[in-house]
């Protein structure tokens, strides 16, 4: 050590000495699962057992390969991400609460999102994890509507205005920047298909027309029908309500259709109540789509495990400003046949 640092009364020497010998101090992070389930549900939307199950699913893709420098555990990384999904807070706010930098929070959430998106094909399956016959029976029990294997609709997820020449593509009919996300669900509010890649300006009918789900229906892979609103064309496998019901049978058809199709609206409500980050995603569009997919996987895991359903708003009334798509003759014929057979 240089001689000028030997003077114990020299303040400057003490400062230099301290900078040379400063010990690294690691902050003690509490076990995120050391709370009752009520607190865990409020913070993370999952019980302790549910979080442990998710840790097992994601461990191979998320866990750090070393504990050097007090690296975060899989439980800490998952709970950090779940806190973001559940609250929708800014990442620096979450970092402040957890004594972590914003960059660390961002890296952790990104790692968890990518790990969850790998599970989409395992947890989002059409027509569902149950046999098709059981799904039809479940939908029929709601309001007597036959042959239904799914309810379909799109929902807009707000995002920050993206930079670049395609910014206007993301502006929807309400002048907001969004991703227009198509989903189907079963009678238990399980999300059974997901298409989260379209800008907000794209209409629902086009998203379905160009989706792999539409291709599979055209190929005759499914014995059953979807229920959609008037934003879709009535087709032989996608049934919409009568635009102007004239008879008692047609009105009964429309009522049963509305009550049954409400399952998808209720699914959207539960998803957005469980994961408040979907109120607005402050990331680039491609990352927003990945975050939406991650939340859908978590939603289905929560549904399968019967996690507590958060309070959510009732389904909104039909959007009468939504453009009506012209029906196909084969779709009208199927709709008439169902009306005559089941809604006398």
The predicted structure's pLDDT at residue 18: 53
The predicted structure's pLDDT at residue 324: 64
Tell which residue, 154, 227, 214, has the closest CA to residue 187.
Answer: 227
pLDDT grade, residue 24 (50/70/90)?
Answer: very low
Tell which residue, 97, 106, 152, 81, has the closest CA to residue 295.
Answer: 81
N- to C-terminal Cα separation, the chain: 98
The per-residue pLDDT of the chain, averaged, comes to 89
Q: What percent of the chain shows pLDDT beyond 90?
A: 75
The predicted structure's pLDDT at residue 29: 55
Tell which residue, 200, 203, 223, 204, has the closest CA to residue 152.
Answer: 204
pLDDT grade, residue 15 (50/70/90)?
Answer: very low
Rounded to an integer, what distance in angstroms lies between the CA atom of residue 80 and that of residue 73? 11
Tokens of 213: 């789900």
Residues in Cβ contact with 141 at an 8 Å cutoff, skipping those fewer than 6 apart: 187
The predicted structure's pLDDT at residue 26: 41
Decide which of 249 and 100 is more confident. Answer: 249
Q: Where are the alpha helices (DSSP H) in 124-197?
A: 132-143
Decide which of 153 and 317 is more confident. Answer: 153
pLDDT grade, residue 12 (50/70/90)?
Answer: low
86 neighbors 276 (Cβ within 8 angstroms): yes
Q: What is the per-residue pLDDT across 42-76, written as a single tens digit (0 to 9) for each?
A: 999 999 999 999 999 999 999 875 555 567 899 99
Residues in Cβ contact with 286 at an 8 Å cutoff, skipping those fewer than 6 apart: none
Rounded to an integer, what distance in angstroms lies between the CA atom of residue 323 and that of residue 341? 30
pLDDT grade, residue 28 (50/70/90)?
Answer: very low
Residues in Cβ contact with 55 at an 8 Å cutoff, skipping those fewer than 6 apart: 74, 75, 78
pLDDT grade, residue 94 (50/70/90)?
Answer: confident
Rounded to an integer, what distance in angstroms lies between the CA atom of residue 6 and that of residue 14? 9
Place of tokens 């439980």: 75
pLDDT grade, residue 91 (50/70/90)?
Answer: confident
The predicted structure's pLDDT at residue 34: 86
């Amino acid at each position: 050590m240089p001689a000028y640092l030997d003077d114990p009364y020299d303040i400057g020497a003490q400062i230099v000495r301290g900078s040379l010998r400063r010990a690294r101090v690691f902050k003690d992070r509490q076990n995120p699962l050391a709370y009752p389930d009520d607190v865990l549900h409020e913070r993370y939307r999952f019980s302790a057992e549910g979080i442990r199950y998710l840790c097992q699913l994601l461990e191979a893709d998320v866990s750090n390969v070393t504990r050097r420098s007090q690296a975060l555990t899989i439980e800490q990384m998952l709970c950090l991400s779940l806190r973001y999904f559940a609250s929708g807070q800014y990442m620096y706010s979450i970092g402040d609460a957890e004594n972590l930098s914003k960059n660390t929070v961002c890296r952790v959430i990104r790692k968890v999102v990518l790990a969850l998106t790998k599970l989409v094909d395992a947890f989002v399956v059409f027509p569902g994890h149950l046999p098709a016959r059981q799904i039809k029976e479940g939908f029929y029990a709601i309001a007597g509507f036959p042959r239904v294997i799914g309810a379909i609709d799109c929902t807009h997820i707000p995002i920050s205005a993206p930079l670049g020449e395609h910014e206007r593509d993301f502006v929807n009919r309400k002048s907001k920047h969004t991703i227009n996300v198509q989903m189907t669900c079963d009678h238990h509010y399980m999300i059974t298909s997901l298409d989260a890649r379209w800008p907000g300006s794209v209409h629902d009918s086009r998203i379905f027309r160009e989706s792999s789900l539409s291709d599979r229906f055209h190929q005759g892979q499914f014995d059953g029908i979807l229920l959609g609103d008037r934003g879709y064309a009535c087709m032989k496998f996608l049934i919409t309500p009568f635009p102007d019901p004239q008879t008692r049978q047609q009105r009964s058809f429309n009522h049963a259709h509305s009550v049954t199709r409400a399952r998808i609206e209720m699914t959207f409500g539960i998803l957005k109540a469980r994961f408040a980050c979907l109120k607005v995603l402050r990331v680039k569009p491609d990352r927003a789509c990945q975050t939406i997919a991650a939340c859908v996987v978590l939603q289905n895991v929560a549904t399968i495990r019967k996690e507590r359903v958060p309070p959510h708003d009732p389904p909104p009334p039909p959007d009468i400003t939504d453009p009506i798509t012209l029906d196909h003759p084969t779709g009208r014929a199927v709709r008439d046949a169902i009306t005559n057979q089941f809604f006398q």
